[in-house]
A and B are shown apart, each in its own frame.
Chain A
Amino acid sequence: MRKKNLLTELNEMKMSYLFILPAIGLFLVFIIVPIFFSFFLSFTKYNVFQAPQWIGLGNYKQILMHDERFWKTMRNTLFYVVGVVPIGVTLALILAIAVDQKIRAKNFFKTMFFLPTVTSIVAVSVIWKWMLAGEKYGLINNFLMKFGIQPIDWLMSVQWTLPSIMIMDIWRGIGYNMLLFLAGLQTIPKVMYEAADIDGAGTWDKFWNVTLPLLRPTMVFVGIMAFIVSFQMFDQVYIMTGGESGIGGVLDCALTGVPYLYDEGFSKFRMGYASALAYIIFGCIMVVTLANMRFLKTKVKY
Chain B
Amino acid sequence: MMQSIKAKNSAINTVVYAFLIIGVVIMVVPYVWMLVTSFKPQAEIQSYPPSFIVKNPTIEPYRDLFTLIPMARYLFNSIFVATAVTLGNLFFCSLAGYAFAKHRFFGRDKLFFLIIASLMLPWQVNLIPGFVLIKKFGWLNSYNALIIPKLAGAFGIFLCRQFIISVPSDLIDAAKIDGCGEFKIYRLIILPLIKPVLATLAIFTFMQQWCDFIWPLIVIHSSDMRTVPLALSVLSGQFSTNFGMVMAGAVVATLPMLVVFIAFQKYFMKGIAMTGLKA
Inter-subunit contact B133/A35 (CB<8 Å): no
CA distance in complex: A19, B106 (Å)? 14
Residues of A within 8 A of B260 (CB): 118
CA distance in complex: A136, B49 (Å)? 8
CA distance in complex: A142, B148 (Å)? 47
A118-B246 contact given A15-B103, A127-B33, A225-B278, CB 8 Å threshold? no
Residues of A within 8 A of B171 (CB): none
- B contacts with A, residue count (CB < 8 A): 97
A234 interface contact, C-beta 8 A: yes
Inter-subunit contact A23/B93 (CB<8 Å): yes
Inter-subunit contact A116/B27 (CB<8 Å): yes
CB distance from A212 to the nearest CB of B (A): 18
- Of the listed residues A31, A32, A281, the one surrounded by the most CB atoms of chain B closer than 10 A to its CB is A31
Inter-subunit contact A109/B20 (CB<8 Å): yes
Inter-subunit contact A41/B96 (CB<8 Å): no
CB distance from A37 to the nearest CB of B (A): 4
B253 interface contact, C-beta 8 A: yes
B193 interface contact, C-beta 8 A: no
Interface residues in A114-165 by Cβ distance below 8 A to B read: 114-124, 126-131, 136-139, 142
Interface residues in B230-279 by Cβ distance below 8 A to A read: 232-233, 235-237, 240, 243, 246-247, 249-250, 253-254, 257-258, 260-262, 265, 268-269, 272-273, 276, 278-279
A119, closest chain B residue (CB) = B254
A98-B19 contact given A120-B211, A136-B48, A261-B127, CB 8 Å threshold? yes
Secondary structure at the B interface, as helix, strand, loop or mixed, is: helix
Inter-subunit contact B211/A121 (CB<8 Å): yes
CA distance in complex: A55, B114 (Å)? 30
B131 interface contact, C-beta 8 A: yes
Q: How large is the interface on A (under 10, 10 to 19, 20 to 34, 35 or more residues)?
A: 35 or more
A64 interface contact, C-beta 8 A: no
Inter-subunit contact B229/A123 (CB<8 Å): yes
Contact of B218 among A33, A137, A266 (CB under 8 A): A266
Residues of B within 8 A of A30 (CB): 126, 130, 133, 148-149
State the A residues within 8 Å of B (CB): 12-13, 15-17, 19-20, 22-24, 26-27, 29-35, 37-38, 41, 48, 94-95, 98-99, 101, 103, 107, 109-124, 126-131, 136-139, 142, 171, 174-176, 179-180, 183, 221, 225, 228-229, 231-232, 234-235, 238-239, 242-243, 257-258, 261-262, 265-266, 271, 274-275, 278-279, 281-282, 285, 289
State the B residues within 8 Å of A (CB): 12-13, 16-17, 19-20, 23-24, 26-31, 33-34, 37, 46, 48-50, 92-93, 95-96, 98-100, 103-106, 108, 111, 114-115, 118, 120-133, 135, 148-149, 151-154, 157, 182-183, 186, 207, 210-211, 213-214, 217-218, 228-229, 232-233, 235-237, 240, 243, 246-247, 249-250, 253-254, 257-258, 260-262, 265, 268-269, 272-273, 276, 278-279
